[in-house]
Amino acid sequence: MKGLGYQQDADGGYGSTLAKLLDSGVTDTAFATFASSYKQAQTNQGFAAALNDWTEKYTGQSVSTFEDYFDVLAGNAPAEVQEIAELAGIQFMADNAGFDISDQDIRNLGEQLDLDQEQAGQLFSNTARDLLSLGERGLRRGNLTASQVLEAEAGIGGNVEQIKLRMSKLAREEGLSDDPTASIFTDFNREGAPVKKGLQANVSEGA
């Protein structure tokens, strides 16, 4: 409470402030959730922008002071307040990773996963690595989108395992294609020797 600018009561507590919050319809759960988010926003402009963005999308209110956030707390259910904070955290970590993510992808992650900011950051880091391995050509060859790669890395959406296998195969092929002497081994002959196909399709099977 002190970090949010509230004055202590004479007894050193914040009973009067909490009473006002409860009288206004703000639950202690909602306050605890959004107060911590607001405190982070005070010290991090990136998170402040994300929090403001998702608060405005949900409530239509532009917020910049704690009084603005208090109005949000008083006018929305605790679950909505929690969701705003979670989506803002996902947006913030995506921005930190330089990952261009759509609002719908953020909502999908928020609905299907329970991610804290550290977990979201790891997810976007892994997805960025996958996209770098595939490259634009790999995505085109696999008929994949960045959203599908993100969902596969997160373990959500349809055909997750198939998409992961496709991504792995494409990444290997794209990496090898940078080396004109490389070969992709896709089969074995009767003697158990690898058959060289793919990039060096003309290499004999017995080589």
Q: 35-47: per-residue pLDDT in tens?
A: 777 778 878 889 8
Give the Cα separation of 57 and 88 in Å (integer).
Answer: 11
pLDDT (average), residues 162-188:
70
Band of residue 141 on the pLDDT scale cut at 50, 70, 90: very high
**What pLDDT does 199 receive?**
38
Q: Coil, strand or helix: which one is 185?
A: strand
Taking 50 as the threshold, does the pLDDT of residue 115 lie above it?
yes
Give the Cα separation of 198 and 175 in Å (integer).
Answer: 13
Taking 60 as the threshold, does the pLDDT of residue 186 lie above it?
no
Q: What are phi and psi of 133, to 5 degrees?
A: -65, -40
**What pLDDT does 121 receive?**
92
Give the Cα separation of 28 and 83 in Å (integer).
Answer: 16
Give the Cα separation of 162 and 152 in Å (integer).
Answer: 9
Higher pLDDT, 18 or 91: 91
Higher pLDDT, 200 or 111: 111
Q: What is the DSSP letter of 3?
A: G
Taking 60 as the threshold, does the pLDDT of residue 172 lie above it?
yes
Taking 80 as the threshold, does the pLDDT of residue 145 lie above it?
yes
Q: Coil, strand or helix: which one is 188?
A: strand
| Residue type for position 78 | P
CB atoms within 10 A of CB 30: 22
Band of residue 26 on the pLDDT scale cut at 50, 70, 90: low
Q: Coil, strand or helix: which one is 10?
A: coil
Model pTM? 0.69
Q: Coil, strand or helix: which one is 8?
A: coil
**What pLDDT does 66 receive?**
66
CB atoms within 10 A of CB 203: 13
Whether 117 and 93 have beta carbons less than 8 Å apart is answered as yes
